[in-house]
Amino acid sequence: MGVSSLPDGEAYYDYLVRHYTTTDMTPEQVHQLGLKLVKQIHGQMKAVFQQIGFKGSYKDFVHYLRTDSKFYYTDPDDLLDAYRVAAKRIDPKLVEVLVGRFACQYVAAGLQAAQRGSLPG
């Protein structure tokens, strides 16, 4: 059951989008932007497939990324360092893509030993 099925639900949803984002876009415009960006990203990924010689579908590639051990870190500190390097590389691009649309801040931080011990797997 979505909010839009409630009385005045569509207006309420419009309000929620404006309240929880920094945009004046309508929910439909946000959705269309998302579809456009996903299409753009998939196009870029196809170019990467060709560049690295990957033969297969997008689904095959995701499976490959999730199952090949070379994409996993065994040392938590190495993983955190890699996230921080990636964040520095991504930051300037986020400003280009999200300018005037959404504002957010993030940080790459490790879990304390007690927190790590409570994770599954």
Contact partners, residue 108, CB within 8 Å, separation at least 6: 80, 83, 84, 87
- What is the predicted pLDDT for the residue at 118? 57
- What is the predicted pLDDT for the residue at 104? 64
- What is the predicted pLDDT for the residue at 19? 87
* Domain chopping of the chain, boundaries: 1-71, 73-121
- What is the predicted pLDDT for the residue at 99? 62
Burial track 41-55 (b if 16+ CB lie within 10 A, e otherwise)? eeeeeeeebeeeeee
With the CA atoms of 61, 66, 69 and 73 taken in that order, what torsion angle do they form, in degrees rounded to the nearest 10?
Answer: 120
Q: Which residue ranges of the chain lie beneath pLDDT 50?
A: none
- What is the predicted pLDDT for the residue at 94? 78
- What is the predicted pLDDT for the residue at 103? 58
Distance CA 83, CA 110 (A): 10
- What is the predicted pLDDT for the residue at 116? 61
- What is the predicted pLDDT for the residue at 29? 92
